[in-house]
Structure 1
């Protein structure tokens, strides 16, 4: 595609400063916004640049929407919340009380350096619907064990994490890593990522706070 000198200059500005508004491009070229309309149309139709409402123009040379790139650059470690743990010798009633008092939807069983499993509101509700006395049900009977636990690595991107939440139909993921300790595989907990964290990230990006 053959570009004019001004179209090349617009492309350079967008590549180096995008996302950028049409008004900002016009200011840099010392022309009016309407004077650029034809050049921008050519660059858009040729897929040299692209535009996103409220975001502006961005360069397509990299092939990725800047909003998507921003989300993908956010890691679990940067967005995670404090995890709440319950002792391995607790019962289902203890877990239900802790969920209520902490106002969360998921608990982790064990210690931070040795998580044994995860318990959600769904797990406790399922047990309660069986008309069981939760105070007599060991936490190990309602939790998802460590071997079946879905988790996120600290450096895992938020797009991957959101996909896991959807694919496995869960509300929260533990953030951490597995490690071998004297021949035993243990999970070391760093934090948690829930749908609330995803929503908070979306809100911050929308308000331009990241």
Structure 2
């Protein structure tokens, strides 16, 4: 019976679950469902199968993490891993948010930059710690001004889509000397307007390298 289970071919969604767990472990079922854009009950059978196969382990009130079978049986998918597999939830502020409130958001969320979007999620710009520092040094009233005066406006910023390869996103960050990139979906019904769906950061990439280096050596 065990050999029959091991011979089961995983579905694309099950393979994506493994990639997400590898990147974010430990991770809860609710978090996985949110990242995949499905309901928690939809994932129940997939998660049960992966645990049964030894691909995943789970701890109550902690979440899912890689099982021994998964950690020892796969290669690091450098060429095929997509941004959608590793992207984080975006940390968004409005253009009218004050610099003071934006700085607080950065510290509370522990991020090096913020995405500026409108009420519909349309990308308007990005603002980094460096932008904040340059703007506030020697300017006592800077913190009361809106982020719109500090941010780099779209389209003068780099973005990626969920379908882009992670390795290409890494190259783009290096080329343009940025610590993160907004992940956007181009809305065809609105003149290809970019809608923010996530973010990918150097921290995420460093974590991938560290985890893969430990697993596959």
Could you say whether these structures have the same fold, taking a TM-score greater than 0.5 normalized by the shorter chain as the test?
Answer: yes
After TM superposition, the score normalised by the length of structure 2 is: 0.60
Matched, 1:105 2:112: yes
Aligned residues: 141
In structure 2, what is the equivalent of residue 194 of structure 1? 201
Other-structure match for 2:54:
none
**Separation of aligned partners in 1, 2:169 and 2:190:** 30
Greater gyration radius:
1
Aligned to 2:155: 147
1:31 alignment partner in structure 2: none
For structure 2, the residue ranges without an aligned partner over 5 or more in a row are 1-74
Note the residue ranges of structure 1 that are not aligned, 5 or more in a row.
1-65
Q: Does the CA contact (< 8 Å) of 2:136 and 2:143 recur in 1? A: no
CA, structure 1 residues 203+78, in 2 after alignment: closer, same or farther (shift >3 Å)?
A: same
Return the offset for 1:132.
4.6
The answer (yes or no) to whether the contact 1:113–1:186 under 8 Å persists in 2 is: no
Conserved 8 A contact 2:117-2:196: no
Question: What's 1:76 paired with?
Answer: 83
Structure 1 residue 83: Cα displacement: 0.8
1:115 aligns with 2:126: no
Query: 1:95 and 2:94 equivalent?
Result: no
Indicate the residue corresponding to 1:85 in structure 2.
92
Shift of 1:130: 4.4
**Corresponding residue SS for 1:153:** coil
Alignment of 1:114-193 (within 5 A): 114-183=122-191, 185-193=192-200
Q: Check whether the contact 1:79–1:193 (CA below 8 A) recurs between aligned residues.
A: yes
Which position in structure 2 is the counterpart of 1:207? Answer: 214
Q: Distance in 1 between matches of 2:140 and 2:82?
A: 40
